Amino acid sequence: MIENPYYTHEFHGDYDLIGLGEFALEEGGVVPDLQLAVATFGELNEAKDNAILVSTWYSGTHQIWRDVYIGPDHALNPEKYFIVVVNQIGDGLSTSPHNASGANASIGMSRFPRVRIGDDVRAQEQLLREHFGIESLALVVGGSMGAQQTYEWMVRFPDKVRRAAPIAGTAQITPHDELYVTALCDAITSDPGFKDGEYSSNADVVDGLKRHAGIWAVVGFSTEWWKQELWRGLGFGSKEEFLTGFLEPYFTAMDPNDLLCMAWKWQHGDVARHAGGDLAAALDRTEAVTRIIPIDEDMFFPVRDHESELELTPHATIRVVEDPAGHLGLFGITPTYIGQVDQYLQELLDTEA
Amino acid sequence: MIENPYYTHEFHGDYDLIGLGEFALEEGGVVPDLQLAVATFGELNEAKDNAILVSTWYSGTHQIWRDVYIGPDHALNPEKYFIVVVNQIGDGLSTSPHNASGANASIGMSRFPRVRIGDDVRAQEQLLREHFGIESLALVVGGSMGAQQTYEWMVRFPDKVRRAAPIAGTAQITPHDELYVTALCDAITSDPGFKDGEYSSNADVVDGLKRHAGIWAVVGFSTEWWKQELWRGLGFGSKEEFLTGFLEPYFTAMDPNDLLCMAWKWQHGDVARHAGGDLAAALDRTEAVTRIIPIDEDMFFPVRDHESELELTPHATIRVVEDPAGHLGLFGITPTYIGQVDQYLQELLDTEA
């Protein structure tokens, strides 16, 4: 267990830790006492049919959804919907390598078992059912790894997902993404301070975390983000200031083992596992009315990778968000981003399902 | 000085070392005895007007030009032209950090001075003039860093370049490329075996060189290269085999300081330096009939970055090569690549200039 001030209410605002008890993982490990960090917005109606599930991306938490995507002026409107944002396992708020203590002390740090996207989705389903009595979701939505979880929901629990909106992410990991994640992980684990996961503070791994941020700079944004100096819109005076004032602090605050836990999940996300490796057969099980929402300048979840899955997904249409930020447009850092996403989500929520 | 079997005639075939003597560098350093590794093909005619200069890219040497681009069936036809391929300074064959010895012993390894694209081009001009008596070039051509050198020729010696063909590279470094090169360098210098450039063998830095290869895998090829498994065309059975059998051995054979010398040059390539930072004014000096030849799937020298320079280059037209390999299509690994390049170079050579 490592004390890390980033993963606190001070930085992340309100959320509840909800325990699911012992949780068996698909790769064979066990979490003795799985705690999910959950933030809710709005109220569940009597019919319990106005619930929206939001899942989180690599390095992300409920915070960015609260600050950018959720509110009375957004499609994810808490005045109409009961919105449940579940922080993914390993994200630093839910049970994670760095915070495993007490009943989870045996799985701390480098001993944390491997977790799959499917584990998150099973845990979310159990949470919604047991804790909130929710058996049907008006919408499942998430970006990047959240899109992976969305597809997993669609395939695993087709009768529970009325609508789905995977944003900037695919049902099946692509080989390019797999290589990208490897490069990110290598930047961290190669830091001598990482000590095979048994560092005593994330500060010991600051060089590796900075290199990890440096690779995100190259692939996470688009070439136009840099060429047009769009970081100026965030108040920075140079790209170096943007790196040292935004991207590096963002990642160096985080826990290396937590990032690696999420990275492995990302790298192994694949709904085809539910159909013996047949992606088409897996996606054919989906029943949700679906909007697939790629970002046009995304360098590692490019539009065409969404288009090839669109063809295999029965009730899906595609809406492409234009954003020169690229994949990290997900943060809502381009002023025109959220309006497009709101429009596409609203269209979907207005569709009978 | 380090013995490295990669940088030998055994691996690189015929080339001559041609000495230019003491050579002052733009950043203030001096090479006591600059040796350029030069491979020539064909014969210089009496008018000395059939010479083509080829410059090399990051990690590349004359070898790939000899094997892929030059021959009686190619536009670069040694039966018609006298083709001079000059290995760039720091590439391991010309004077470079790892081979600096004898008169150059004072600039070996970490003491190697900073070299600019302009230094290469001035050295090449001196070589052609003093050694071959060439004052006018039928064509200057190069890919990637070779394109940077081509533009430098066009701006610095406009009256000597009749035709020019920058392939997959720009006149001015882009901020995205700058970040990409930083990520590549960090992968090498972060290896504890690098020892600030004073390792005793490139094998000491093998982990860093592998990480460097891993980042090339993500950005050097396109997402479609991986998705369509086009590496199968090179005889590999899995992408892991392709990495460990091709990309990693390619880079781990090389010298870390040599790569870093070239990387710094790449990162600082900018013809606007000749016009007080005004790119348009610099490119406006060019007189060569020019074909700008980007590769459609290039992730870090994207087509649009060529298009914006096309607008500023007086006598230029653009021809886009279609190649799902992306930037590393330069290696000629896609069967349809070289035919397109040959066509565009032939068109150019057939143009009066």
Q: Which of A215, A217, A299 lies at the smallest CB-CB distance from B299?
A: A299
Tokens encoding A108: 């701390």
Sole residue written with tokens 């804790």: A131
Q: Which of B177, B188, B219 to mutate to test the interface with A (most CBs of A within 10 A)?
A: B219
**CA distance readout (Å), A139 to A50, A319, B263:** 9, 16, 48
- Residue B231: per-residue pLDDT: 97
Interface pTM (ipTM) of the complex? 0.96
Q: Tell me the C-alpha distance between B18 and A48, whole Å.
A: 81
* Strands A82-86 vs A30-41: parallel, antiparallel or unpaired: antiparallel
Q: Tell me the C-alpha distance between B121 and B118, whole Å.
A: 5
> Are B214 and A183 inside 8 Å of each other by CB?
yes
Q: Tell me the C-alpha distance between A284 and A332, whole Å.
A: 32
Q: Tell me the C-alpha distance between B65 and A324, whole Å.
A: 36
Q: Pick from A18, A79, A60: which is nearest to A250 by CA?
A: A60
> Are A174 and B223 inside 8 Å of each other by CB?
yes
> Are A192 and B192 inside 8 Å of each other by CB?
yes
Residues of A at the B interface (Cβ-Cβ below 8 Å)? 174-176, 179-180, 182-183, 186-187, 190-192, 207-208, 211, 214-215, 217-219, 221, 223-227, 229, 239, 299-300, 302, 304-305
Q: Which of B216, B223, B231 to mutate to test the interface with A (most CBs of A within 10 A)?
A: B223
> Are B214 and A302 inside 8 Å of each other by CB?
no
> Are A218 and B190 inside 8 Å of each other by CB?
no
> Are B183 and A300 inside 8 Å of each other by CB?
no
| Contacts with B183 from chain A: Cβ below 8 Å | 211, 214-215, 217-218
Amino acid at A178: E
A-B Cβ pairs (cutoff 8 Å, strict): 88
* Strands A30-41 vs A16-24: parallel, antiparallel or unpaired: antiparallel
Q: Tell me the C-alpha distance between B162 and B185, whole Å.
A: 36
What is the value of pTM for the model shown? Answer: 0.97
Q: Any idea which residues of A carry the catalytic annotation?
A: 144, 298, 327
Q: Strand pairing partners for A172?
A: A270
User: Is residue A19 within 8 Å of residue A102, measured between CB atoms?
Assistant: no
Output the tens digit of pLDDT for each of chain A's 353 residues.
899 999 999 999 999 999 999 999 999 999 999 999 999 999 999 999 999 999 999 999 999 999 999 999 999 999 999 999 999 999 999 999 999 999 999 999 999 999 999 999 999 999 999 999 999 999 999 999 999 999 999 999 999 999 999 999 999 999 999 999 999 999 999 999 999 999 999 999 999 999 999 999 999 999 999 999 999 999 999 999 999 999 999 999 999 999 999 999 999 999 999 999 999 999 999 999 999 999 999 999 999 999 999 999 999 999 999 999 999 999 999 999 999 999 999 999 999 99
Q: Looking at CA atoms only, how far is residue A259 from chain B in angstroms?
A: 18
